[in-house]
């Protein structure tokens, strides 16, 4: 899968790949086989460093008011190894590194041309309280709450719902799943915590930014579980949070954005050892979108594979939606292994910089 991702991004995309010392030789072999030596750097960290594959979430890339580049890392990040990753990347690039208060993760942020969206669950007030559940897109936070990431050239909007959103802790085992056999149970709302105001814990899993319309309004794509169920001809699971996704879409429309809906299948993986069916969203919104002038491209995960070949129809629908918006589309391989772990394509990659300057061609250790 990692090879497929590297292969899918042709020139002029350049890569900085972080791996353990023991993985350098294998990655160097991949880079040579793929003909990417001239546009790839591999930076290694000690083998005992524990970090996840979610490159998107561990730190935030920013520019300061003087144009300097810096990496910000929330103090409340989840994995100690992420500190090693963030410091290593900053040192390699020659950028400043700072730790900041809060628990803001880059997966809960989407940046548009003159605005940025932040999931309300990341917008902790100084008291540690979350925003009101009835907070809607268009409301801004105070400078005190966001000064460490405040972009004066962009307006920040919170993303939340005014519909109840169950948390995973309180609904870990929703109900017995007797139809699967004796002792089976179902785990739902994974990733959501008690008090959440978002249907999924990261906004990039149910929202995509798609650029400006001819009339100047901005278009976004919002996930729709019911659309997915209709497309593949199945019933909508009762725990799909359809009313929450619909309400988020409505609030965006009321704020003046153009909203398109794309399928957001709610699927599952069965663990036969623990006898638990784990439900998860196969997110198409979690894609990599690039808009540079008149050039528009999107890289999309696919899910119509294995026991979920029925999702070929939603793979095709999402591709057609993006093409209808004028995007060149590139599809990648089966992303169920990532989606079942509550992530997808955008989660495993991060745009560090858009620049013509890149000193590639060698492996760093």
d(C-alpha 309, C-alpha 63), whole Å = 43
Residue 133 has what pLDDT?
32
Residue 129 has what pLDDT?
36
From residue 228, give the alpha-carbon distance in Å to each of 27, 34, 73, 336.
Answer: 37, 35, 36, 16
Where exactly are the structural domains of the chain?
1-58+73-98, 164-348
Residue 132 has what pLDDT?
35
Residue 363 has what pLDDT?
40
- Whose structure tokens read 């619909």? 246
Residue 253 has what pLDDT?
94
Residue 106 has what pLDDT?
87
State the DSSP H helix or E strand holding residue 328, giving kind and residue range, or none if neither. Answer: strand 328-334
Q: How far is CA 300 from the centre of its chain?
A: 12
From residue 316, give the alpha-carbon distance in Å to each of 101, 173, 233, 320.
Answer: 42, 33, 15, 6
Token pair listed for 310: 């029925």
- List the chain pLDDT tens, one digit each, 365 residues: 778 888 888 767 889 999 999 999 999 998 899 888 988 999 999 999 988 888 898 888 888 777 788 898 877 666 778 889 999 999 999 999 988 776 678 899 999 888 889 898 877 543 333 333 334 444 444 444 444 445 567 788 889 888 888 887 654 555 555 567 777 888 899 888 878 889 999 999 999 999 999 999 999 999 999 999 999 999 999 899 999 999 999 999 999 999 999 999 999 999 989 888 899 999 999 999 999 888 899 999 999 999 999 999 999 999 999 999 999 999 999 999 999 999 999 999 999 987 644 444 334 33
Q: Which residues contact 334 (CB under 8 A, 6 or more apart)?
A: 1, 302, 303, 305, 306
Residue 8 has what pLDDT?
84
| Gyration radius (Cα) of the chain, Å | 20
> 200, 260, 192, 199: which is closest to 227 by C-alpha?
260
Q: How far apart are the first and last CA of the chain?
A: 23
């Amino acid at each position: 899968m990692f090879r497929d991702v590297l292969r899918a991004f042709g020139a002029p995309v350049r890569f900085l790949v972080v791996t353990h010392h023991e993985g350098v030789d294998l990655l160097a072999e991949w880079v040579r086989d793929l003909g990417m030596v001239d546009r790839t750097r591999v930076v290694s960290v000690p083998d005992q460093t524990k970090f996840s594959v979610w490159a998107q979430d561990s730190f935030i890339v920013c520019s300061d008011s003087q144009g300097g580049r810096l990496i910000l890392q929330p103090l409340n990040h989840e994995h100690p190894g992420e500190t090693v990753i963030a410091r290593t990347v900053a040192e390699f690039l020659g950028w400043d590194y700072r730790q900041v208060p809060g628990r803001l993760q880059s997966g809960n942020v989407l940046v548009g041309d003159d605005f940025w969206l932040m999931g309300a669950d990341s917008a902790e007030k100084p008291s540690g309280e979350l925003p009101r559940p009835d907070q809607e897109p268009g409301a801004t936070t105070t400078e005190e709450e966001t000064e460490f990431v405040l972009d004066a050239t962009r307006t920040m909007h919170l993303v939340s719902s005014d519909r109840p959103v169950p948390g995973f802790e309180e609904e870990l085992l929703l109900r017995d799943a007797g139809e699967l056999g004796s002792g089976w149970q179902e785990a739902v709302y994974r990733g959501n915590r008690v008090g959440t105001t978002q249907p999924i814990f990261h906004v990039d899993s149910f929202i995509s930014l798609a650029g400006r319309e001819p009339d100047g309004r901005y278009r976004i794509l919002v996930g729709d579980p019911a659309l997915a169920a209709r497309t593949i001809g199945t019933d909508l699971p009762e725990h799909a949070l359809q009313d929450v996704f619909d309400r988020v879409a409505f609030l965006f429309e009321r704020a003046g954005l153009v909203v398109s809906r794309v399928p957001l299948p709610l699927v599952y993986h069965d663990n036969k050892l623990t006898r638990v069916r784990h439900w998860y969203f196969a997110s198409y919104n979690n894609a990599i979108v690039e808009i540079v002038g008149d050039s528009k491209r999107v890289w999309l995960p696919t899910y119509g594979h294995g026991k979920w070949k029925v999702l070929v129809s939603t793979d095709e629908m999402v591709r057609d939606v993006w093409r209808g918006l004028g995007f060149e589309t590139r599809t990648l391989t089966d992303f169920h292994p990532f989606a079942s772990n509550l992530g997808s394509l955008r989660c495993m990659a991060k745009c560090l910089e858009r620049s013509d300057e890149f000193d590639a061609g060698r492996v760093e250790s």
